[in-house]
Structure 1
């Protein structure tokens, strides 16, 4: 079964059935471009094209964001328009059912499309019902969560400068950097970061399954232990591993935390495939979960087996950041990587009028419940700074 939202009492004198009968009257797409290079083990993003999407039902609306394209400055959101057109004119109940029908095992639909639409409809639902999206997801956490600063570069000098920026932005307590599957390069980057941050910070790396030449788990363990000896606290997807290999490797590396990411995707599959012992922390990665309701269920299952949850990132810069921060707080995550970026988010933040989340002076993210995900954005200003605007 796909995800459906709890039918809670609505605001504005609407009961549950009236809320479901509200029709989607307008869908707007804003193309927001980022022209700052980001480096991965598998290639480089020279520029990115994100879509901010606003779905309206009369005076009520919901926001979402998706990283739609990269290295394509002439990108046109043709497929998105074609997909979203199917939802124009539907009631909210009909839209939820159509979405849920594809949030299932074997679905051919893009996870980004499913998840992005899910976020907007959940935001819209919450505003209609005067309930926060976190409440609709039945999440109970309220404590602030540390933001995770992320470095996507392999140039040692640039990595040093980025680590220094993390301190300037009060985020030097939790830092993640990309590894590249080359031990010499990766160790150099790790030592550079530790040199800047000292011994107290939590340092995480993500290899995107980049270590490929090992012939035994003992060999892979030796590589990871050398990272641990030089100050690495946790590592995401170090290599392509089967479930039993995850469990064995976590036992072998002891207090170096393994973080399964790829095995959790999408959320409705991760619920059935994840097992106790694969890691100490499990990553719920934006753009790959496919369903926020299933994400909440997956987080609960992780907690049930005595492990912790982190909220990752897909280099988000706009409306989805606050939404994922609220989810992170709701599930009691160890940290949240989906945070607004000083450079990438600058123009968006100039359009932002208010948000339910707040970055505190200590670099933790807090949340005051408001209807939906609660973002208020100056649409006219956003139109002016967007590379493309489409109304459906």
Structure 2
């Protein structure tokens, strides 16, 4: 089955509120936060007329093309057409070898790299293959091990006056796990954690995420104050690339350390220093399901538990994450797949289905979701 055509469609999704996270040095990652996200939808058509779709999620305004020119949808379409048209779709590993492309990634201030284009290509290929074989994508990776995925509601940094109502609403919806973004104002972080614990109750799972916002000493001090509210773990407490620092911190605090692992190489470095307890894996980070499975295999060999992180995908990207989680027994922590509730609009014909705090894994050929024809 060869790829006969490729088209890319732009899409912009509005967030329910402007989201703020910390960055290196405890500053806001972006002044005013993010009120919307830009996406690109890759459409592959086979020589048999089958179509597969992949999502390039949450495109930053700092991304460039491989030649250093400014990223545009038109240039991406021309670039991927040269890479993919005429190629055998089943040769997925060979087709993904060119990703991540150095300039064409979402690189965060702390050095975290999300291969969002590679992920979109991976997803489009897998959706195409699944539809051509008339099987769900999870069946390409050993079958479905679970029907629904536990999700933690992500609580971004904003005014405390909004927090109690937000958490109460999510508790009413059935959420019993939360991820609290911290790292800018220690006193406010502590108060926000207190409110979540009070509203959500003693049994709620509350993860913290400092987004590289603290120094080592700040992390020790801040986490010591937060212990009384029993957080389940801390993600990226100090600069992302400071592996030795996290190993040292791990011996100083009384809670698990969670970290984004987007490649087996970085995972091996973390394991070498015994620096983390839980792997945060994502399709957007690793460059798609195919590569994310390799990170999960590494976690399995080391006996590490996992969760699925997120760059806040729309419906198609969320579907690929759900198929990844469904095909793995390692996803035991609540995952951060809040896109279906964080965006006011989407490009799927039908929304994802929730069972309180769980997202149902879509069945059907490919990723089991349909792209709205109006996108085109």
* Same fold, TM-score > 0.5, yes or no: yes
2:67 aligned partner:
none
2:108 aligned partner:
none
Which aligned pairs between 1:49-198 and structure 2 lie closer than 5 A? Answer: 49-57=38-46, 58-65=48-55, 66-69=57-60, 76-87=72-83, 89-93=85-89, 96=92, 99-103=95-99, 109-110=104-105, 111-138=115-142, 141-142=145-146, 144-171=148-175, 173-198=176-201
Deviations 1:48-77 (A, max 9, x none): 2222333222432222222124699xx952
How far apart, in 2, do the equivalents of 1:286 and 1:368 lie?
17
Q: Are the equivalent residues in 1 in contact too, given 2:89–2:125 (CA < 8 A)?
A: no
Structure 1 pair 70/196, CA: closer, same or farther in 2 (3 Å)?
farther
Q: Are the equivalent residues in 1 in contact too, given 2:315–2:351 (CA < 8 A)?
A: no
Q: What's the offset of the Cα at 1:187?
A: 0.7
How far apart, in 2, do the equivalents of 1:329 and 1:49 lie?
27
2:233 aligned partner:
234
Structure 1 pair 23/109, CA: closer, same or farther in 2 (3 Å)?
same
Q: Are the equivalent residues in 1 in contact too, given 2:233–2:257 (CA < 8 A)?
A: yes
Secondary structure at 1:25 match in 2: strand
RMSD, aligned α-carbons: 2.8
Scaled by the length of structure 2, the TM-score of the pair is: 0.81
Which aligned pairs between 1:1-392 and structure 2 lie closer than 5 A? Answer: 21-34=1-14, 36-41=17-22, 42-43=29-30, 44-57=33-46, 58-65=48-55, 66-69=57-60, 76-87=72-83, 89-93=85-89, 96=92, 99-103=95-99, 109-110=104-105, 111-138=115-142, 141-142=145-146, 144-171=148-175, 173-212=176-215, 214-215=216-217, 220-240=219-239, 242-254=242-254, 256-261=255-260, 264-265=261-262, 267-275=263-271, 277-332=274-329, 333=331, 334-342=333-341, 344=343, 346-348=344-346, 351-353=348-350, 358-360=353-355, 362-367=356-361, 369-380=363-374, 383=375, 389=376
The runs of 5 or more residues in structure 1 that have no matched partner are 1-20, 384-388
Secondary structure at 1:200 match in 2: coil
Equivalent pairs, count: 345
Q: What's the offset of the Cα at 1:314?
A: 0.6
Structure 1 pair 343/282, CA: closer, same or farther in 2 (3 Å)?
closer
How far apart, in 1, do the equivalents of 2:125 and 2:169 lie?
36
Structure 1 pair 301/141, CA: closer, same or farther in 2 (3 Å)?
farther
How far apart, in 2, do the equivalents of 1:164 and 1:137 lie?
38
How far apart, in 2, do the equivalents of 1:47 and 1:23 lie?
32
Structure 1 pair 342/94, CA: closer, same or farther in 2 (3 Å)?
closer
How far apart, in 1, do the equivalents of 2:334 and 2:158 lie?
23
Structure 1 pair 95/25, CA: closer, same or farther in 2 (3 Å)?
farther
How far apart, in 2, do the equivalents of 1:305 and 1:339 lie?
28
The runs of 5 or more residues in structure 2 that have no matched partner are 23-28, 64-70, 106-114
Structure 1 pair 186/354, CA: closer, same or farther in 2 (3 Å)?
closer
Structure 1 pair 166/363, CA: closer, same or farther in 2 (3 Å)?
same
Structure 1 pair 303/46, CA: closer, same or farther in 2 (3 Å)?
same
How far apart, in 2, do the equivalents of 1:139 and 1:132 lie?
9
Q: Are the equivalent residues in 2 in contact too, given 1:260–1:278 (CA < 8 A)?
A: no
Structure 1 pair 152/89, CA: closer, same or farther in 2 (3 Å)?
same
1:16 aligned partner:
none
Q: What's the offset of the Cα at 1:107?
A: 5.3
Q: Are the equivalent residues in 2 in contact too, given 1:32–1:52 (CA < 8 A)?
A: no
Scaled by the length of structure 1, the TM-score of the pair is: 0.78
1:18 aligned partner:
none
How far apart, in 2, do the equivalents of 1:247 and 1:189 lie?
27
